[in-house]
Amino acid sequence: MATFATATLLTLLLLLHTATSDDDSSAFVYAGCSQGRYASGSRYASGVDSVLTSIANSAPSTPYANFTAPTDASLTGLYQCRSDLPASVCFPCVRAAIARLSSLCA
């Protein structure tokens, strides 16, 4: 009986810890980087900047968007915020993700 009581107590403590843990809304669900490189100031770099600017400008008003670079139809970008997050969390998260791209994919 003592073993059952101990196991029950440990299970309850584990559930309590899980229920009270903070949700890390800043963690990437998926982050992947291509091995390709491009020159700064190139037409492709301009397209990347255009797509990232469009994403950053769109984030305050919509939880999902995708964009294509005006200079290269094969260059696209998208973001999607979790449906349980308010815009006040989504927008800073998208901005932070854009800011972290250079360090993640260096």
Per-residue model confidence as pLDDT tens digits over 4-24: 444 444 454 444 444 444 456
pLDDT score for 25 = 58
Q: Cβ(67)–Cβ(78) under 8 Å?
A: yes
pLDDT score for 23 = 55
Residue 44 has pLDDT above 60, yes or no: yes
Q: Cβ(104)–Cβ(33) under 8 Å?
A: yes
pLDDT band at 57 (very low <50, low <70, confident <90, very high): very high
Q: Cβ(53)–Cβ(25) under 8 Å?
A: no
pLDDT score for 7 = 47
pLDDT band at 55 (very low <50, low <70, confident <90, very high): very high
